[in-house]
Structure 1
Amino acid sequence: MKKRELIIVLCLLVIGAGFYFYQKSTKREELVVYHHKKVIAHIDLSKNARYAYQGDVGTFHLEVKDGRARAYDVDCPNQICVHTGWIKRDDGKSIVCAPNGISVSFETV
């Protein structure tokens, strides 16, 4: 490999690495709330807060704290969403309240 070709390859590697780290730094995690597959909210994980959403059979309450989320005090018959407990961005879980048609999941944007 000639010196000129080596310089070109190294420049391409540096440009590629810069692009990779730029993309990685601009992406962020957020919590997305859906009602029947339609996005109804994007939630910033850096803020601790409580939210209420109207579902098909009642109110769905969501708490965000320390980058985690949980359903609480939900109007639905079986309470499976409440028993899911806290979910974190790296555990691959989501919250689903089928009677209300609401789901909550972590997404990279």
Structure 2
Amino acid sequence: MKRKEILIIIGVVIVCLCAVFGMKLLNKETDSDPNATPKETPTGQWVAIVHRNGVAQWFDSGVDAEYTVTGDYGEMTVEVKDGRWHVEHVECPNQNCFQMGWDDGTGFMPITCIPNNIFIATSQWVEGYLEQ
């Protein structure tokens, strides 16, 4: 090989190494714990849909929307409206979580679906639960 070709190869290798290290550094800065409460200020309060001891979905109770997550037994759809939330539809045999009705975070117990291994609770409750 000629000296010019060797210098080009070395230059390409250096650029590739810089790109790999740069991506790793950038990824490290943007990685966040999915179980941690979002940093943005919510309109209402932060609420989490937790599946298998991990947050599947965070949502702002002040923003009307629907969220669908998949549990151990099937899908669950959560409706958020006027600062409150409830299970709108769920695929499970007993439908207890559906029957729990609307929650606004002031209740004693979060909405819980045992067959799907899902519960829906405020950020304060979730943070305490996940720290155990």
Identify whether the pair has TM-score above 0.5, normalized to the shorter chain.
yes
- Residue 56 of structure 2 corresponds to 40
| Aligned partner of 1:91 among 104, 107, 110 | 107
Q: Structure 2 CA distance, aligned partners of 1:65 and 1:32? A: 15
2:61·2:80 contact (CA, 8 Å) conserved in 1? yes
User: TM-score with structure 1 length normalisation?
Assistant: 0.69
Aligned residues: 84
Q: Structure 2 CA distance, aligned partners of 1:39 and 1:32? A: 6
- Residue 58 of structure 1 corresponds to 74
| Amino acid in the other structure paired with 2:109 | K
Deviations 1:38-93 (A, max 9, x none): 11111011210011111111111100111101002200000000000000122333
| Aligned partner of 2:117 among 96, 101, 105 | 101
Does 1:67 find its partner at 2:83?
yes
SS at match of 1:89: coil
More strand by share: 1
Please identify the structure whose Cα radius of gyration is greater: 2
More relative contact order, 1 or 2 (CA 8 Å, 6+ apart): 1
Q: Structure 2 CA distance, aligned partners of 1:48 and 1:61? A: 13
Q: Structure 2 CA distance, aligned partners of 1:107 and 1:80? A: 22
User: TM-score with structure 2 length normalisation?
Assistant: 0.58
Q: Structure 2 CA distance, aligned partners of 1:75 and 1:44? A: 24
CA gap of 1:92–1:30, structure 2 versus 1, over 3 A, is farther
In structure 1, stretches of 5+ residues that fail to align are 1-25
- Residue 98 of structure 2 corresponds to 82
In structure 2, stretches of 5+ residues that fail to align are 1-40, 128-132
CA-based RMSD of the aligned residues comes to: 2.0
